[in-house]
Amino acid sequence: MDSAPPSPPDDKPEAARLGWQRQSSHYPYASPINRLRVDHLSIPGRGAIRYSYLERGESVIIVPVTADGRIILIRQYRYPVDQHCLELPAGCCRDQGQSSLEEVARRELREEIGGTAERLEYVSWFYSSSSISDEVCHIFLARGVALDHPAETEPGEHLEIRLVSVSEALHLARTAQIKTGTCALAILLCEQKLNP
């Protein structure tokens, strides 16, 4: 299991080592799952700059595999890009209290696809978009997933479930037919475990 990076502290020790000095920070927007942070910095040789990014913290992405070996994808409408996208069950941890990553993964699986998993395996983690967010995506491989409950979607979620073979899911990820990069990468990171 890869060790997760430390939670983003109020100060940035690597930035300080590089000579970046934060003059101030403020949050012009906040919601239960993210907030916009704006830092005013002084950088040696560059002067004063303003750097803004989303503080999202940790999230989970689940690669769900049924007992018969198919991967469950979600076709979901995404308002920011005005497109339907093929994705995986996923969710942010910020609004989940003290729940463990595994608890959040199981909850997202149940809420988004009505699924339960016989077992979850932690695979790895990565940053979703390190230039504009501090989000850390934790990948779980869920085995023995059964769609045995009604999904508990949120008002802004319009989801359709698609069951595909492992080879098709890998093909969709490799050929950019899964346009949500975090989901495509999650599938590819699970490849060796999906095809032992």
Give pLDDT tens digits for 2-15: 444 433 446 789 99
Structure confidence at residue 196 (pLDDT)? 59
Structure confidence at residue 33 (pLDDT)? 87
Q: Is the pLDDT of residue 157 over 90?
A: no
Q: State pLDDT tens for residues 57-99.
A: 999 999 999 999 999 999 999 999 999 999 999 999 988 888 9
pLDDT over 90 percentage in the chain = 76
- What does the pLDDT average to over 138-146? 98
- What does the pLDDT average to over 105-131? 96
Average pLDDT of the chain is: 91
Instruction: Report the C-alpha gap between 115 and 148 in whole angstroms.
Output: 6
Cα 59 to the center of its chain, rounded Å: 5
Instruction: Report the C-alpha gap between 20 and 47 in whole angstroms.
Output: 10
Delimit the domains of the chain by residue range. 13-55, 58-194
Instruction: Report the C-alpha gap between 25 and 39 in whole angstroms.
Output: 4
pLDDT higher at 114 or 1 = 114
Q: Is the pLDDT of residue 115 over 50?
A: yes
Q: State pLDDT tens for residues 10-64.
A: 678 999 899 999 989 999 999 988 999 999 999 999 999 999 999 999 999 999 9
- What does the pLDDT average to over 143-163? 86
What are the backbone dihedrals phi and psi of residue 186, each rounded to the nearest 5 degrees, phi first? -60, -45
CATH number of this structure's domain 58-194, picked from the four choices 3.30.420.40, 3.40.50.300, 3.90.79.10, 3.40.50.970: 3.90.79.10
Q: Is the pLDDT of residue 133 over 60?
A: yes
Instruction: Report the C-alpha gap between 187 and 80 in whole angstroms.
Output: 23
Instruction: Report the C-alpha gap between 117 and 142 in whole angstroms.
Output: 6
Residue 55 to residues 24, 72, 76, 172: CA-CA distances in angstroms? Answer: 16, 29, 24, 30
Residue 81 to residues 16, 17, 75, 84, 155: CA-CA distances in angstroms? Answer: 36, 38, 14, 9, 18
Structure confidence at residue 6 (pLDDT)? 37
Q: Is the pLDDT of residue 1 over 90?
A: no
Q: Is the pLDDT of residue 107 over 70?
A: yes
pLDDT higher at 138 or 31 = 138
